[in-house]
Amino acid sequence: METTPLLEIENLSISFKTKRGYLKAVNDASLVIHEHESVALIGESGCGKTTLSTAIVDILPLGARVTEGEILYKQSDGNTVDLLTLKKKKFRTLLWSQIAMMFQASQSSFNPVKKVRMDFIDAAKAHHPRMTEKEILKKSEKLLTLVMLDAERVLNAYPHELSGGMKQRALLALALLLEPKLVILDEPTTALDLLTQEKVVALLNELKEEFSFSYLFVTHDLSIVSELADRVVTMYAGRIIETAPVASFFQQPKHPYSRGLIDAMPKLALEQGELVSIPGTPPDLIEQTSGCPFAPRCHRKSSLCTEQMPPMTTSQDSQHEYACWHPYLGV
Ligand SMILES: Nc1ncnc2c1ncn2[C@@H]1O[C@H](COP(=O)(O)OP(=O)(O)OP(=O)(O)O)[C@@H](O)[C@H]1O
């Protein structure tokens, strides 16, 4: 595995201004994505996955503000820039050409009154004005075929003429058009039926091999994580609480929350026996407490847990990083 960092998120905090006060959706999060690496961001609903990933591509929702941190990106020319302080114009040149995204809401990003071909042509022309339409369409056809679509039909269709699954795959082809180095996918398979899900996961793996880019993908589905990720990052209450290589994550999760997620996973749990859900619900992120945010739901907690937030610790074999006073060690 190549270990050159492509994206380094350092001590990132993001708050939403709400009627009840500031809600800290991302809290001091640090995360590295290496070149050619596929990283899965997991955690229950509302733990900050989408907020963190939208910050990378500068599409934070209204009311959200980065209060601290850096997002360092190594550009194709080798220079590193902080995406958070980059001028808008420069940022736009990076977007799609080096960093592409496919978000839950992005199915509606096709222009509803134009044929799909125009989205491909406009995207390519914006970055490569000298590319001819013929060249763009040839490349688009190749990519659409790769994602198992009838290229001619899709390019000549209006978005509403395509099913959800077709649109999702067409978006993937569009995201790859400019050969980005990093692709950010938010719930890439959520809108798809099981069979199409399997195809898309297989396809994402193939595409990664063919184009050797990096993925950051957000998902609730741990079975996809096991098939697609090289490394897993667990978030809870806006914090990153564990990161580990995928095999080690599933075999020996250190943080009780990661273990809880695995035990609550139907497909994986059934093979091993019982399926157990995590009691309770994530905390209100407006009320920040000093201890570990998972403590109220954790069966391993001690008084220390409710008093002090555990620091990020590296496991003895250097495989895991976890923030827990009472991790599962030697399992
Ligand atoms: N527009 C908004 N205004 C106020 N709070 C928000 C807004 N969007 C998200 N939040 C809050 O920020 C926190 C993190 O939300 P986020 O959507 O990033 O979580 P998530 O892990 O991606 O959840 P999901 O898996 O459901 O997409 C949650 O507490 C959520 O309620």
Closest by CA position to 107, among listed 95, 124, 123, 119: 119
pLDDT for res 274: 65
Predicted confidence (pLDDT) per residue in 198-236, tens digit: 877 888 888 888 888 899 999 988 988 999 999 999 999
pLDDT for res 107: 57
The three-state secondary structure class of 41 is strand
Q: Report in angstroms the alpha-carbon separations of 252 from 62, 176, 232, 321, 326.
A: 39, 35, 12, 12, 14
The Cα 199–Cα 188 span in angstroms is 12
Predicted confidence (pLDDT) per residue in 259-292, tens digit: 999 998 875 545 556 677 898 999 999 987 889 9
pLDDT for res 326: 97
Contact 292, 305 (CB under 8 A): yes
- Pairing relationship of beta strands 38-42 and 21-34 according to DSSP bridges: unpaired
Q: Report in angstroms the alpha-carbon separations of 275 from 148, 169, 171, 227.
A: 35, 32, 35, 20
**Strand locations in 57-97, DSSP E?**
64-74, 80-82
pLDDT for res 273: 60
Residue numbers of the chain with a pLDDT score lower than 50: 2, 269
The Cα 132–Cα 47 span in angstroms is 44
Round the average pLDDT of the chain to a whole number and report it.
Answer: 90
Question: Residue 17 CA: which ligand 1 atom is closest?
Answer: 4
Q: Is the pTM of this model over 0.80?
A: yes
The Cα 157–Cα 169 span in angstroms is 14
Whether 46 is in the pocket of ligand 1, judged by its Cβ within 6 Å, is yes
Whether 63 is in the pocket of ligand 1, judged by its Cβ within 6 Å, is yes
Contact 107, 164 (CB under 8 A): yes
Indicate the fold that domain 5-98+180-322 takes in CATH. Rossmann fold (3.40.50)
CA count, 13 A, side-chain hemisphere, 286: 7
Amino acid at 161: E
pLDDT for res 271: 58
The Cα 180–Cα 175 span in angstroms is 8
Question: Residue 47 CA: which ligand 1 atom is closest?
Answer: 21
Whether 256 is in the pocket of ligand 1, judged by its Cβ within 6 Å, is no
The three-state secondary structure class of 164 is helix
- How far is ligand 1, taken at its centre, from the CA of residue 48, in Å? 6
The first and second tokens of residue 205, run together, are: 């793996």
Domain-by-domain residue ranges, the chain?
Answer: 5-98+180-322, 110-179
pLDDT for res 134: 95
The tokens 């209060």 sit on which residue? 67
What ipTM describes this predicted complex?
0.97
